Amino acid sequence: MAKTYKMKQCDQNIVIIQGRVGSDPKWKEVGEGLVTFSVATSERWKDKSGEWQEKTEWHNVAVFGKNAGYLNDKIKKGDIVLVKGSISSNKKDDRVYTSIKPDPFGGVKVVASAEDDGSQPAASVVDEDDLPF
């Protein structure tokens, strides 16, 4: 007999983004540490006239605790990062500031470094006529 599972209401606060770091992280001495940085994500599409359009969104990321020091040394402007965490909002001076708080275990991963010089071979397509067998 197959088990059936009852679905609960989805009230999780989960966000996953991948984009480029906009500036070097900023370190603050708060508790065990706080590091903040921004990540840009973009989307491209063709409009009705066939012209390419692009929209860039900026996301603020705030990392607290032991991981803050590690990320402060690891992440640089231009790196491509994957961030998984939750969204939090703070109100200050009648303005709402939204930021992403990464998961404490592996919430930020560097996908590609800004310092990569392209020396790694890129994937390529091979013509079957060029194969020796």
Q: Tell me what pLDDT residue 109 has.
A: 87
Q: What percentage of residues in the chain have a pLDDT greater than 90?
A: 43
pLDDT at 128: 45
pLDDT-derived band at 131 (thresholds 50, 70, 90) equals very low
- As given in the structure block, the two tokens for residue 75 are 């992440």
Q: What is the pLDDT of residue 80?
A: 94
In a domain, 35, yes or no: yes
Residue 76 has pLDDT above 80, yes or no: yes
Mean pLDDT computed over every residue of the chain: 81
pTM here is 0.70
Q: Is 91 exposed, middle or buried (0-12, 13-18, 19+ CB in 10 A)?
A: exposed
Specify the DSSP element, H or E, that contains 108: strand 108-112
Total number of domains constituting the chain: 1
CATH of the domain at 62: 2.40.50.140
Distance CA 78, CA 121 (A): 20
What CA–CA distance (Å, rounded) separates 107 from 35? Answer: 14
* 31 lies in some domain: yes
User: Is residue 71 over pLDDT 70?
Assistant: yes
Average pLDDT over residues 32-38: 91
Judge whether 79 lies within some domain: yes
Which one is predicted more confidently, 112 or 125?
112
**What tens digit of pLDDT does each residue of 85-120 get?**
999 888 888 888 889 999 887 788 888 887 765 444
Residue 63 is assigned to a structural domain of this protein: yes
- Give the domain extent around 107: 15-114
Query: Is 120 contained in some domain?
Result: no
